[in-house]
Structure 1
C-alpha cells in the first residue's frame, strides 16, 4: 500500500529561496527566445508550442522513471488523486501553461513584447497577493502587509519603466484594451498554477511528479489544438534539424519544477516576484549578448530592471513588527 505524504511546511530560508526564484526566472527569456525561433522556423506557433511541451514531457518522464525519487513520486500520483488529497482539478494546472502559450502566440504580434510583459506581470502580481491571502498554496494563508502591496505596485511600475523603450511601435492604446485582457488573464492564472503545482508536490513527495503531470495536461491541450488547426489549415513546415531548437521544453521542466518547490517556502507572491526579477535580468542579458532584431537597451531598461530588484527586496524583507506594521497588515477576522 502506497502512503501519500502529508503536507509539511518547508523550511527553505528566504536568503536561499529568493535567489533561487530569480535563477528560475532567468530560464524563461531564453526559453521564450528558443520557442520563438522554432515558431519562425516551422511557420506555426501551435506546432512550436506542441514540440516544446512534448520534448519537456519526454525529458521529465525519463527523469521520473530513471531516478528513485521520481519513481516514488509516480507511485504517489494516483493514490493522491484517488484519495482527493487536493482538489482533482489541480492535475490540470498544465492547462494554464498551455493557455499562456496561446495568449503569447495570439497577442504578442498585436501588442508587442513590452505591453504583453506589463500585462502578464500585472496579472501575476495581483493574483500572487490573492492566492497567498486565500491560502491556496501549500504554505497556507500568508498575511498581506502594506509593504508587500507597495512592493508589488512598485514592481509593476518598474517593469513598465524597464520595457518603456519598446513602446514606440505600439498602436493606438484604445484599440489594445480588449486584446490586453488575454495576457492579463494568462498572468493572473500563473499564480494559481504555481499554487496548484506546489500543493501537488507536497502530496506526491517530489516536484518531479508534479512537473510530469503538468506537462501531461499541457501537452494534451496543445495536441488537441494542433489537431484542430491541422484539420482546418494544414500543418506547417518540417521540423528543423538543429538540436538547440528543442531545448525550450527541458527548460520549462526546470522552471516549473523549481517554482513548485519554492512556493512551499516563499509563498506564491514572493516566488512570482523573484521569477519576474529573473525574467527581466535574463532578458537584459540576452538583449546585450545576443540581441534580437529591433532590440532596444537604454538607460530606462537598465534602471527599471535594477528598480525591480529593489522593489522585490523591499517586499520580501522581514520588516520589524510594531504598531505601524500591525495597522498595515490585512488579516482575516
Structure 2
C-alpha cells in the first residue's frame, strides 16, 4: 500500500535555511510597519487617520491583485461550499467551517490601530514586547482548544512557564515608568497580540479548506479596513480631519509592509513548519524593534531593562512554542470533517 504523498522538505523535515532567514526578515517587517504607522500617527496628531491610510493602501493593493493570484477563485468557492451558519440538530457531519472562522481580519484592524496609537510613545521595542507577550498567552488557549487546523495541544508546565515569563517580560519595563497613560498604551498592543494568535489559528483553518492562502489574506484586509473605517468615522466626527500631512513617502509605506508580512507568513509556513516560523518571526520582531529604537533616538529608550525583557520574550517564545511540526497537522493538508464548537 502506498504511503501517500510525501510532505514538503521544509514542512515536516529539516527546515530550509533560506526560509528561516525569510521568516526572520518578515518579523522585522512587522516591527518596521509598527514604527512607520506610529510615526505617521505622531506626525498628523491623529493615529486613527494614520491607521486608515495604512490599511486603506493595503486593501487597495490586494483588491487590484486578487483576481490574478493563483487559486484565489477556486479557493473562495471551496470556502463557500464548506461553510454553514450553525449546527443543525440531527444533521450529518458538520461542515468544517463556521462563520466566526472568517472574522480573523478584525484583529488586523485592531493591530494597525494599536501601532498608530502607541508605538511612537512606547518605542518600537516595548510595543513589540507587549504584542508578543499577548501572543504567547493567547497561544496557550488557542492550542489547548484546538482552534487551528492541527490537533489540540494541552498547556503543559513548559508552556505555562513560557506564558508566565512573557507576562514578566512585559511587566518589568513598565514598572520604572508606570503611569496610567503608559499602562493604557501598553495594553493596546498586548490586547492586539492576544487576538493575533486566534487570527492565525482561524486563518490556518481557512487556508487548509481553501487549498490556497489568498482568499483568507484578502478577507483579512477587507475586515481590517472596515474596523479602521468605523473608528475613522467616530474620529472625524469628534475632531475632524488632520490639517497637515507629512511629505516623507516612507511614512505612507505601512500598508505595503503589511501586505508583505501577511503574504510572507502564509507562504513560508510550508517550508519551515509552524514552530520554526513563529520563533523566527518573534526573533525578527524583537531584534528589528531594538534596531529601530537605536537608529531613531540613539537608544535613548533602549535601556538595560528593555534589552533584558527582549531576551526574556525570546526565551518565553521557545518555552511556549508548539511541539515539533512533525507531531502536528500540516496547515495545507485538507481537514477531516469534525464538529466545531
Q: TM-score, normalised on structure 1?
A: 0.74
Give the structure 2 partner of residue 328 of structure 1. none
The CA deviation string for residues 87-113 of structure 1, in whole angstroms up to 9 with x for no partner, is: 112222111222234445556688777
Give the structure 1 partner of residue 214 of structure 2. 208
Q: 1:26 aligns with which of 25, 28, 34?
A: 28
> 2-side partners of 1:303 and 1:272: how far apart?
20
Moved more, 42-51 or 148-157: 148-157
Give the structure 2 partner of residue 36 of structure 1. 38
Instruction: Please list, as runs of the form range in 1=range in 2, the aligned pairs for 1:81-160 lying within 5 A after superposition.
Output: 81=83, 85-104=96-115, 117-158=128-169
Give the structure 2 partner of residue 253 of structure 1. 259
User: Contact 1:158/1:308 (CA < 8 Å) preserved in 2?
Assistant: yes
SS in structure 2 of the partner of residue 137 of structure 1: coil
> 1-side partners of 2:120 and 2:314: how far apart?
28
The CA deviation string for residues 207-242 of structure 1, in whole angstroms up to 9 with x for no partner, is: 222111000011012112212322332111354444
Moved more, 79-88 or 240-249: 79-88
SS in structure 1 of the partner of residue 179 of structure 2: coil
> 2-side partners of 1:317 and 1:186: how far apart?
20
Return closer, same or farther for 1:89/1:262 CA change in 2, 3 Å cut-off.
Answer: farther
> 2-side partners of 1:77 and 1:62: how far apart?
21
User: Contact 2:279/2:318 (CA < 8 Å) preserved in 1?
Assistant: no
> 1-side partners of 2:265 and 2:191: how far apart?
19
Return closer, same or farther for 1:271/1:204 CA change in 2, 3 Å cut-off.
Answer: same
Give the structure 2 partner of residue 295 of structure 1. 300
SS in structure 2 of the partner of residue 296 of structure 1: coil
User: Contact 2:128/2:286 (CA < 8 Å) preserved in 1?
Assistant: no
The CA deviation string for residues 193-213 of structure 1, in whole angstroms up to 9 with x for no partner, is: 111112111222222221110
Aligned residues: 305
Instruction: Please list, as runs of the form range in 1=range in 2, the aligned pairs for 1:1-333 lying within 5 A after superposition.
Output: 12-13=11-12, 15-16=15-16, 21-81=23-83, 85-104=96-115, 117-158=128-169, 164=173, 168-171=176-179, 182-237=188-243, 239-260=245-266, 266=273, 274-288=280-294, 290-292=295-297, 295-316=300-321
The CA deviation string for residues 275-322 of structure 1, in whole angstroms up to 9 with x for no partner, is: 33321111112223x224873334444454345444444555979xxx
SS in structure 2 of the partner of residue 206 of structure 1: coil
> 2-side partners of 1:241 and 1:168: how far apart?
36
Moved more, 203-212 or 106-115: 106-115
Moved more, 298-307 or 229-238: 298-307
CA RMSD of aligned residues (A): 3.8
Deviation at 1:76, TM superposition (A): 4.1
Return closer, same or farther for 1:282/1:113 CA change in 2, 3 Å cut-off.
Answer: closer
> 1-side partners of 2:188 and 2:290: how far apart?
25
Query: Structure 1 or 2: larger helix share?
Result: 1
Deviation at 1:168, TM superposition (A): 4.3
User: Contact 1:21/1:262 (CA < 8 Å) preserved in 2?
Assistant: yes
The runs of 5 or more residues in structure 1 that have no matched partner are 1-8, 320-333
